Chain A
Amino acid sequence: MHVTLVALAASVVAYAPVTRPGVRAHALGGGGQRLAAGLAGWEAQDTAGRGLYGMGCASCHGRDGRGGERGTNVAFTVAVPDFTDCSFSSREPDADWIAVVHEGGPVRGFDSTMPSFAEAFTVEEMQAIIDYVRSFCGESAWPRGELNLPRALHTEKAYPEDEAVTTMSADVDGPGRVVNELVYERRFGARSQIEIGVPFGAAEAPSGGWEAGLGDIGLGVKHTVWHSLAGGTIFSLGGEVVVPTGSESAGLGTGTLVFEPYAAFGQILGSAGFVQLLAGVELPADTDKAAREAVWRGVAGWTLAQDRGFGRSWTPMVEVLGSRDLEGGAKAAWDLVPQLQVSLNTRQHVLANIGVRMPVTDADVRSTTLVVYILWDWFDGGLFSGW
């Protein structure tokens, strides 16, 4: 999911303290005294978050945070999430959990068995409960989902991901060229990811006529070297090996093996903004077929969420692409890519991004390209779930 801190900020700002029609049942400190008596042993001196969890959550989510040690009369069969599973919980930003607690399961395409607690707890109390729920996962190696910044059209994210993306690019001027790339990314361990990218498409030959086929397949690995939720920072190192499976004659491939190491950086700005940077080099094995290149990219954007901050998320961004041959005397090529990412379904795990890649340098000989992707965060559910 790519809902960032803005959703939380917007919900705190836009929602305002709850005005309940009835009497406030408790103050933050006194929550422990009104614990769900069905669960003995939760003492009044517990921290506010733990006490509130005991009062409002443990009956269904269990004292252990995974549905165990709860009342025997629960009448639902839907599985509750396992908060002790760091792989699952670490990648969920607070904003999404607050949305579900506040609005109920259906706000993210989950079952209506999860109620809306907007009239039982203030947003501050929900944050205290979620801070307590975080303690069910004891491992700090996992980077938090807030650092999973929105994926730009071209720039690799620093965050390790479990997702599949299909990106279509079509040149709108110059010789025809339409490319579709399928990318599959999979996490392993707490901070690493492998990926495979398969491009295929069609290009118009100088002699006229189109040639279609497979491009150069890329295999990559990425590892998060450092992350800090408090600082809003994430830094990763990665590398890709591109195999010359594409037809060189058709203009779909380079004809040589290429090694592409890179460094990726992400930084949250304020409550809703972010910047992402990437720097890398492309090192072809056969420098007669392709030149060695330095590549640098930057993205800046911010996320807005509809519906008091709980609904569909929109992320306008601008991407800057730069590259320069490492041979002497080469000139840098620059492109600007304004784009807009939007979540498509209520689970917000299927997203689309549409943008235009505009050459800044050599615009007379380089094409403008329309670029669109559909992204599916397959860890969060099937492609057709959560709509």
Chain B
Amino acid sequence: MAGRSMRRLAGAAILVIPGASTFLAAVPAAPETGVIRGKVNVSGTVTFAGTAPPAVAIDMSGDAYCAAANAAEPVRRRTVAIDGEDRLADVVVYVKEGLAAGDRVVPQEAALLDQQKCMYLPHVVALQTRQPILIRNSDETLHNVHVRARHNREFNIGQIRGVESRRAFSTPEVGIRVTCDIHGWMSSSIAVFDHPFFAISGDSGGYSIADLPAGEYLLEAWHASLGTQQQRVTVTAGGTTTVSFTFQAQ
């Protein structure tokens, strides 16, 4: 059936490791202009300074399905990815200024936002403008996906089990909140860029943006509740540049 094959394709295209956040590798897009420009990897680690608040279990007792689905392992709302360590996952790191305008190839592989055991998976989705996103409900209960975009068109889709909706965004926008109005704890976010130079930090706090042309850039790191951090970086040909970010408690 067309739906099943699309799900397999979506699953293969997005590097999802169950339990960890997405580590999205950038697709090279700088056009050949006749000048040889070096392509550089920018990577680093995102950490949290100070004592992280303890991870709190989410109370799903008001919904029998969600409570049963998570009975074996209650979901915890956490700041740092692993208790006792300082690594921050789900931080979107991206080039904010310094990119030359140029052609880019819009990826046709869809990004994926799934709902499993009454939680959004992944917690953060990053994709390009006009790149498709598949929004799927894998749960046996009703969810709605309320995408509260401000620069893009806001929409709210009701999904029963198995429904898979396909959308795309036209305008760059970071921090689009996604909520389920039936299960108030469900929250995710979407970041949309008109270039491929972005990544999301994993459980190790690490991120990597590949194939950035040499130049001067402003990098920004965005966290769903800890705000944004910025750093300027000069990227020279033929190397790896390391840029790390540290977030403070708000």
CB contacts (< 8 Å) of A23 on chain B: these are 1, 3-4, 162, 164
* CB atoms of B2 and A21 under 8 A apart: yes
* CB atoms of B142 and A36 under 8 A apart: yes
* CB atoms of A74 and B184 under 8 A apart: yes
* CB atoms of A119 and B157 under 8 A apart: yes
CB contacts (< 8 Å) of B162 on chain A: these are 22-25
Residues from 21 to 61 in B contacting A, C-beta threshold 8 Å: 60
Q: A73 contacts the other chain (Cβ, under 8 Å)?
A: yes
Q: B209 contacts the other chain (Cβ, under 8 Å)?
A: no
Chain B nearest Cβ from A153, distance in angstroms: 38
Query: Do A21 and B3 contact each other (CB < 8 Å), given the known contacts A37-B141, A104-B156?
Result: yes
* CB atoms of A119 and B159 under 8 A apart: yes
Chain B nearest Cβ from A24, distance in angstroms: 7
* CB atoms of B164 and A21 under 8 A apart: yes
Q: In the complex, how many residues of chain A place their beta carbon closer than 8 angstroms to a beta carbon of chain B?
A: 34
CB contacts (< 8 Å) of B7 on chain A: these are 22
- Least CB separation from B6: chain A residue: A21
Residues from 171 to 193 in B contacting A, C-beta threshold 8 Å: 179-185
* CB atoms of A115 and B64 under 8 A apart: no
CB contacts (< 8 Å) of B15 on chain A: these are none
Q: B216 contacts the other chain (Cβ, under 8 Å)?
A: no
* CB atoms of B62 and A73 under 8 A apart: yes
Q: Is the interface of B mostly helix, strand, loop or mixed?
A: mixed
Query: Do A34 and B140 contact each other (CB < 8 Å), given the known contacts A73-B63, A74-B182?
Result: yes
- Least CB separation from B184: chain A residue: A75
Query: Do A115 and B156 contact each other (CB < 8 Å), given the known contacts A71-B62, A71-B63, A73-B183?
Result: yes
CB contacts (< 8 Å) of A37 on chain B: these are 64-65, 68, 140-141
- Least CB separation from B159: chain A residue: A120
CB contacts (< 8 Å) of B1 on chain A: these are 23
Q: How far is the CA of A26 from the CA of B162 in the complex (A)?
A: 9
Residues from 23 to 44 in A contacting B, C-beta threshold 8 Å: 23-26, 34, 36-40
Chain A nearest Cβ from B156, distance in angstroms: 4
CB contacts (< 8 Å) of A20 on chain B: these are 3, 163-164
Across the A-B interface, give the 4 residue pairs with the lowest CB-CB distance, nearest first.
A75-B184, A22-B164, A72-B62, A25-B162
A-B contact pairs, 20 of them (CB 8 A): A21-B6, A21-B165, A22-B164, A23-B4, A37-B68, A38-B66, A39-B64, A40-B64, A74-B184, A75-B181, A75-B184, A105-B156, A112-B156, A115-B145, A115-B158, A117-B157, A119-B158, A119-B165, A120-B157, A120-B158
